[in-house]
A and B are shown apart, each in its own frame.
Chain A
Amino acid sequence: MKSSTQFKQDHSSASSPYFSDDVRDFSQVEKSIPCQEACPAKTNVPGYIRDIYEEKYGRAYEINRACNILPGVLGRICSRPCEEACRHGNDNNGDSVAICYLKRSCADLKSPMHRIIEGLYTPTGKKVAVIGSGPAGLAVAHELAVMGHKVTIYESEEKPGGMLMYGIPEFRLPRNLLLSEIENILRLGIDLHTSTMIGKDINLEDLHDIYDAIVAAIGCMKPRTLEVAGEGLENVYNGLDFMKMVNAGQTPYVGEKTVVIGAGFTAVDCARSAVRLGASQVDIHMRKTVELMRIDAHEKVEAQYEHIGLHGLMQPNRIIGENGRVTGIEFLRTRLEQTDRSPYRVSVPIENSEFVIPADTIIAALGQTPDKEVIFNRAQQSLTMEGYFSAGDFVSGSSDVIHAIADGKRCAQEVDHYLTGIVRKKKMVRIEPCSTTDRDRSFDFISRTAMDTIGLSERKAQLTAEVESGFNTEQAYEESKRCYLCNLRYEIDPQRCIYCSACIDVMPKDCIKMVKGIVFEDSGAYQSYETSQYWNQATAISIDNSKCIRCGKCLEVCPMDCISVHKTELVEVDLASESFE
């Protein structure tokens, strides 16, 4: 392989795409494309949004699927770290792009005749058992099947999907969509055995005799408890059990007043389900503050719309009951205090601050932990045994779906290396010259497109009715225009620049700078610019791609045509291929 420097030199004036493993290019992609960097699966967000703009929904779907095997699912229930990072949401830039809604759009709007693309490797003859069919298990299974291994999934529940099937309410995630995307994974020849509990229906030792590797992806299914008096009273639920009942079509009792304890997605799911089950007053209480809730702003808005109260700074002290049933809950007020791990804050109870809230139902949605006894107690095995791997929440603790999928993919590559002894792929930056950005400045002033939803009465009338309606083609097109296309890299050629400052005069943001030097990281990557306000100190004029909004104004006014635009893309390339193209 050519060295990175050679690549750079060879292609600096190239008119066709080329690949780079230069640390400076990786660094530039990391810093300039914050949405992709924030995504645990490193989804090429600007790439698929551009395809939606061009109404190539199937292609956009496949860009998503290359990183995450459940685009339609994630387009509905992702925790959206990308949107928090989106530069359109920075100060004075407006609201972040509705990236998650657009992800859903490419799943919803692709042709019914769309063909799934799978780059299959030849069969290896190796067999792998995956325990658990949640997002991490599905991601591991898919990736290993693509690599040519024979995969069998063992699932203890009746249906596949794990928390997606049993933890998330159907009004947020329609089950036909979930099953359809799971079926797309299983079609690679993956065997699925449901209602099969490892340690009960089949022993771990037996699996070792059959398979070359075993992956545990059993998630976090052991609920945390309140650890207060009265927890055993009737109508006190833990969040996961409550959601499993709701998702199984049962109607757990909720009474008039439901109190939910928790600060994450499960707490909000339980509260919104309780509203649909007929509770007239539903409130979520949490130990820390509403600002520190582990949900996105969108979920807060939906909770507010459904008249769910959010109350911070209180922790349960005891649950009160009569005749074995809940009648109320006593809280202690809390305040936040500093920890050693600044900036983290802990909540501490305030002495003598007890107060009681009447309640018919208490739901403790405090999250879950891995239940390692499920597998290991019976087999007396350790986590370090040969051929054993683990993935997803089982490893990291309770996180979210996109983290689980990303970790599943990581685990699959580890398993593949264990089975074959080879490294198949390498990350590189694909760089393609662009003659035009095709992006109008007026796009920057388009308001974020709101998602249509069904009304409150419809939500209450049908427990499973999907709340969000999805974008139509016009809405998706309009929203796709808003993306800054941060994957476009603007550069000024210092050899040709005449320092006329025309570009600086037209820049709408503080994105073009007079530079007197560049600070490098130890790795050799660019860290920051040393800027100057004085012409006599400037050695170059440079575009700060982490501030640039790709309006193209500098390109239009440059008299020397010394500004170049390249599309950059983080890709995985086969090391065995003779050519990357």
Chain B
Amino acid sequence: MASNDHYVIAGNGPAGNAALNTLRKNDPESRITIISDESVGFYSKPRLCSYISGRIEEDELFIHEDLSFDNTRLRLGQHIQSIDPDQKIIFLSHMEKINYTKLIIASGSKPSPSPYMTQFMPYLKSITDFHEAKTHKQCIHDAQQFLVLGGDLVGFKFIDMLISMGKAATLILYPQAFWPFVLDSDMVDRITASLEPKGIRIMVNDRIQSIQDADGGYQVATLNHARNEIEEHYCDQVFAFSGMTPNIDFACKKGFDIDHGILVNEYLRTRFQDVYACGSCAQIFNPILKVYQTTIGWTNAETQGEIAALNLLGANQVTRLAPQKYFDLEGVKIKTSWWDDTDENPNPDGDF
């Protein structure tokens, strides 16, 4: 095994860390750099709401990986601006260049705010990473009345958290926030039937007209197009969860094949030599169904991270489908991989 390799992993989530552990185990002499745009180490994003509500302590959120190896360098708080796969160079936004011999892209997904909401961004909070969770924790405890916009998978965990904390909330549900999966009217009815008895008011597709500061909180005007009615809401906090999209801006227009995510074959190889992608940033070719699939979820990410690392080291393993393929959204089953024609028995115990 070559010992002068420099492996770079772009992303410090479950896929990136599974790849890191596999590389260390199988090529202990190599140099490994893991790059994260967050300023903290590896932690469990699915447990952020538990941390906010106080069910777990901050320390319990973190997954304490052993970083004492001399050959491993963790680069936190560093944003990848672009990749030159031909020259094998990563450009960081602070103008540093990192050369690699082999690269695994495991950058996960990022919020995909609706363009209609961009003008209200200064008023909208979200919970997409630890920094936001820590920043907003106290204000969530202090607030009583919430307005929640969008309601993607993370948003529904947030709603569950508010219910468990005894908070009052109005959810303006945008069925297309789950894109490429759109909730149909039957699903919306079932979600509404599940949440309203728990004290959550549901509005569907109402649009924000204005948000203004008012008495320490916010005065929000929403428009219901069907009834052509404007409604005024007072709330202490406004949170927006409008879907996720692969976090791959740095790869766009750099020659990578991209559909929704970075296209990789069943061995998780991109079109460029020595560059692999895995987790929710990748769209993986399924050789049985002959289709490129996007996957989400911790289990999928870990499995793919391990396989990407093994293949980078010379193996030729085909990606396994993780057993978990459904997420339970208030009684509605949401697949963790789309464009998938197989239909397994829905498992309600999601791993988000």
Is A432 interfacial (CB 8 A cutoff)?
no
Q: Contacts A91-B93, A449-B119, A450-B118 hold; do A290 and B260 have CB atoms under 8 A apart?
A: yes
CB-nearest residue of chain B to A343: B255
A510 touches B95 (CB 8 A): yes
Partner among A92, A333, A448, A449 whose Cβ is within 8 Å of the Cβ of B290 = A333
Q: Which of B15-23, B162-170, B176-184, B312-320 contacts A (4 or more CB under 8 A)?
A: B176-184
A448 touches B225 (CB 8 A): no
CB distance from B269 to the nearest CB of A (A): 13
Q: In chain B, residues 190-208, which have Cβ atoms closer than 8 Å to a Cβ of chain A?
A: 205, 207
Partner among A304, A311, A336, A353 whose Cβ is within 8 Å of the Cβ of B257 = A336
- Provide the B340-351 mask, 1 if CB < 8 A to any CB of A, else 0: 010000000000
Q: Which of A194-202, A384-392, A455-463 contacts B (4 or more CB under 8 A)?
A: A455-463
A447 to B180, CA, bound (A): 26
Q: In chain B, residues 40-64, which have Cβ atoms closer than 8 Å to a Cβ of chain A?
A: none
CB distance from B240 to the nearest CB of A (A): 14
Partner among B175, B225, B263 whose Cβ is within 8 Å of the Cβ of A457 = B225
A345 to B182, CA, bound (A): 30
CB distance from B266 to the nearest CB of A (A): 11
A456 to B205, CA, bound (A): 9
Is A38 interfacial (CB 8 A cutoff)?
no
For residue A352, which residues in chain B have a CB less than 8 angstroms away from its CB? Answer: 290
A146 to B253, CA, bound (A): 42
A298 touches B285 (CB 8 A): no
Is B252 interfacial (CB 8 A cutoff)?
yes
How many chain B residues have a CB neighbour from A under 8 Å?
A: 36
For residue B230, which residues in chain A have a CB less than 8 angstroms away from its CB? Answer: none
Is B81 interfacial (CB 8 A cutoff)?
yes
- Provide the A290-301 mask, 1 if CB < 8 A to any CB of B, else 0: 110000001001
For residue A336, which residues in chain B have a CB less than 8 angstroms away from its CB? Answer: 257, 263, 271
Is B292 interfacial (CB 8 A cutoff)?
yes
Is B98 interfacial (CB 8 A cutoff)?
no
B259 touches A289 (CB 8 A): yes
Could you tell me the dominant secondary structure of chain A's interface residues? mixed
A338 to B223, CA, bound (A): 49
CB-nearest residue of chain B to A350: B290
CB distance from B16 to the nearest CB of A (A): 22
A289 touches B115 (CB 8 A): no
Q: Contacts A289-B258, A353-B290, A455-B225 hold; do A304 and B122 have CB atoms under 8 A apart?
A: no
CB distance from B267 to the nearest CB of A (A): 14
CB-nearest residue of chain A to B248: A291
A426 to B273, CA, bound (A): 50
B258 touches A447 (CB 8 A): no
A305 to B205, CA, bound (A): 10
Is B116 interfacial (CB 8 A cutoff)?
yes
CB distance from B208 to the nearest CB of A (A): 10
Is B226 interfacial (CB 8 A cutoff)?
yes
Is B143 interfacial (CB 8 A cutoff)?
no
B257 touches A454 (CB 8 A): no
For residue B225, which residues in chain A have a CB less than 8 angstroms away from its CB? Answer: 454-458
Is B291 interfacial (CB 8 A cutoff)?
yes
A-B interface contact total, Cβ < 8 Å = 73
A447 touches B119 (CB 8 A): yes
A335 to B287, CA, bound (A): 12
For residue B341, which residues in chain A have a CB less than 8 angstroms away from its CB? Answer: 355
Is B139 interfacial (CB 8 A cutoff)?
no
Is A502 interfacial (CB 8 A cutoff)?
no
A449 to B120, CA, bound (A): 9
Is B321 interfacial (CB 8 A cutoff)?
no
B93 touches A345 (CB 8 A): no
Is B74 interfacial (CB 8 A cutoff)?
no
B118 touches A313 (CB 8 A): no
CB distance from A119 to the nearest CB of B (A): 39
For residue B176, which residues in chain A have a CB less than 8 angstroms away from its CB? Answer: 304-305, 307
Q: Contacts A91-B81, A333-B291, A448-B118 hold; do A345 and B257 have CB atoms under 8 A apart?
A: yes
For residue A311, which residues in chain B have a CB less than 8 angstroms away from its CB? Answer: 339
For residue A289, which residues in chain B have a CB less than 8 angstroms away from its CB? Answer: 257-259, 263
For residue B121, which residues in chain A have a CB less than 8 angstroms away from its CB? Answer: 447
A95 touches B182 (CB 8 A): no
A305 to B179, CA, bound (A): 10
A355 to B93, CA, bound (A): 44
A304 touches B179 (CB 8 A): yes
Partner among B115, B119, B175, B263 whose Cβ is within 8 Å of the Cβ of A301 = B115
B252 touches A291 (CB 8 A): yes
Q: In chain A, residues 44-100, which have Cβ atoms closer than 8 Å to a Cβ of chain B?
A: 91-92, 95
Q: In chain B, residues 143-180, which have Cβ atoms closer than 8 Å to a Cβ of chain A?
A: 175-176, 179-180
For residue A453, which residues in chain B have a CB less than 8 angstroms away from its CB? Answer: 116
A291 to B259, CA, bound (A): 5
For residue A310, which residues in chain B have a CB less than 8 angstroms away from its CB? Answer: 180
Is A34 interfacial (CB 8 A cutoff)?
no
A510 to B91, CA, bound (A): 15
For residue B82, which residues in chain A have a CB less than 8 angstroms away from its CB? Answer: 91
CB distance from A128 to the nearest CB of B (A): 42
Is A230 interfacial (CB 8 A cutoff)?
no
- Provide the B277-299 mask, 1 if CB < 8 A to any CB of A, else 0: 00000000100001110000000
CB distance from A345 to the nearest CB of B (A): 7
B259 touches A313 (CB 8 A): yes
Q: In chain A, residues 394-415, which have Cβ atoms closer than 8 Å to a Cβ of chain B?
A: none
Partner among B119, B205, B226, B291 whose Cβ is within 8 Å of the Cβ of A450 = B119
B259 touches A290 (CB 8 A): yes
For residue B252, which residues in chain A have a CB less than 8 angstroms away from its CB? Answer: 291
For residue B223, which residues in chain A have a CB less than 8 angstroms away from its CB? Answer: 455
CB distance from A567 to the nearest CB of B (A): 30
A447 touches B118 (CB 8 A): yes
Is A312 interfacial (CB 8 A cutoff)?
yes
Is A309 interfacial (CB 8 A cutoff)?
yes
A92 touches B258 (CB 8 A): no
CB distance from B339 to the nearest CB of A (A): 8
Q: In chain A, residues 441-493, which have Cβ atoms closer than 8 Å to a Cβ of chain B?
A: 447-450, 453-458
CB distance from B252 to the nearest CB of A (A): 7
B116 touches A309 (CB 8 A): no
For residue A456, which residues in chain B have a CB less than 8 angstroms away from its CB? Answer: 205, 225
For residue A345, which residues in chain B have a CB less than 8 angstroms away from its CB? Answer: 257
CB-nearest residue of chain B to A351: B290
B182 touches A307 (CB 8 A): yes
B182 touches A450 (CB 8 A): no
A447 touches B259 (CB 8 A): no
CB distance from B203 to the nearest CB of A (A): 13
Query: What is the interface of chain B, defined by CB distance below 8 A to chain A?
Result: 81-82, 93, 95, 114-119, 121-122, 175-176, 179-180, 182, 205, 207, 223, 225-226, 252, 255, 257-260, 263, 271, 285, 290-292, 339, 341
Q: Which 7 A-B pairs have the closest CB atoms?
A: A455-B225, A353-B290, A289-B259, A291-B258, A312-B259, A457-B226, A333-B290
In the complex, 9 of the A-B residue pairs with CB atoms within 8 angstroms, ordered by the A residue number, are A290-B259, A298-B115, A335-B285, A447-B122, A450-B119, A455-B205, A455-B207, A455-B223, A457-B226
- Given A310-B180, A336-B263, A450-B115, 4 extra CB contacts under 8 A: A291-B259, A353-B291, A450-B119, A454-B225
